[in-house]
Amino acid sequence: MSFKSRVIMLAKAISVWWGIFLILGCCIGFSVNILFGLFAVSGTQKLEMKIFIPILISGSLVFSVAAYVISTFLSRLPAKKMRRKLDKTAAEKGICKDYTDILSANCRGDIKNQVCTELALSALVSGNTARAKEQLNRIDVISVLDVAQSTGNYTAAAYYYAASVLVSAAERDYDSVNAAYESGKFYINALNYDFYITAVKALALLKTGDPDEALKTAENAAALIKVQPKSKLHLFRGLAYEVLAQVFFANGMYAEAEEAVLEAMSIKLTAEFEKDMVSLGREIKENSAAEV
């Protein structure tokens, strides 16, 4: 998300809380004024409105910021807790039933669409593209886009379209790859700081006939992924390296492609994923040797 989008989203959220506290403050002030003479005990001087109004405005603003911070922290707790469990499970067992069980148990509320996207990717690295498509079809795309447009948070939208690109590419349906990329281009471009989204963008560019731009984008993704802790986001790191290997290979950069394959294999997602990486690695070596 761009800085401008973050500022707009923050301003919208705080303004809602500010309005709530202003209304509450006015109601409280009116009630107290009726009962006690605007915060004054009988026989004492009343508090002037020109004093009360600035206190009301500034006080409600402080409360609104505090309420936003607290609500944001509480709303993110379930997702953070889930991500810690997923990272631990992936590090110990790879993408397995335990991993998908954690996702399924959290497939509700505000994170339902994002969880369905990750379930689709889990099925994809297990070699089950039909199941991956089923999970993508569970996503309420209209809701995803509404959230993106109303809040300026494009993460769920970008991840949905990126997953659609990967599933279509796995089926060699390049018309659908192009359709998914064109539909989600705005959201994908907005997440140019995300290594996974940037890697998928490189693949989409490659499959839609722009290998030069795909290579530039892949090199950017490779730089971004290097600063990502290896203990986190195993599924997305594995997929990103797989995509980078394909793009580098298509551009004749065999050393970089082999390195990406080795990085992908070191993550150990699933047996099917590892077989695909072994096959890709063998193909890269054969082509590299043929050109020597």
Reported as a single tens digit per residue, the pLDDT across 5-39 is 566 667 776 777 777 877 887 777 667 666 555 44
Which pair of structure tokens corresponds to residue 289? 């040797």
Dihedral sign, CA of 140, 142, 145, 151? negative
Dihedral sign, CA of 233, 79, 218, 276? positive
Res. 3 pLDDT band, cuts 50 70 90: low
* Nearest residue to 225 (alpha-carbon basis) of 251, 258, 178, 263: 263
List all residues 6 or more positions away from 98 whose beta carbon is below 8 Å from its beta carbon. 89
For residues 118 and 136, is the Cβ–Cβ distance under 8 A? no
Q: What mean pLDDT is predicted for residues 210-235? A: 93
CA distance 34 to 39: 10
List all residues 6 or more positions away from 213 whose beta carbon is below 8 Å from its beta carbon. 205
Asked if residue 46 has pLDDT above 70, the reply is no
Asked if residue 258 has pLDDT above 90, the reply is yes
Res. 61 pLDDT band, cuts 50 70 90: confident
Asked if residue 155 has pLDDT above 60, the reply is yes
Res. 203 pLDDT band, cuts 50 70 90: very high
The pair phi, psi for residue 232, each rounded to 5°, is: -125, 155
Amino acid in position 34: I
Amino acid in position 285: K
For residues 163 and 117, is the Cβ–Cβ distance under 8 A? yes
What local confidence, expressed as pLDDT, does residue 77 receive? Answer: 72
CA distance 55 to 38: 13
CA distance 154 to 149: 8
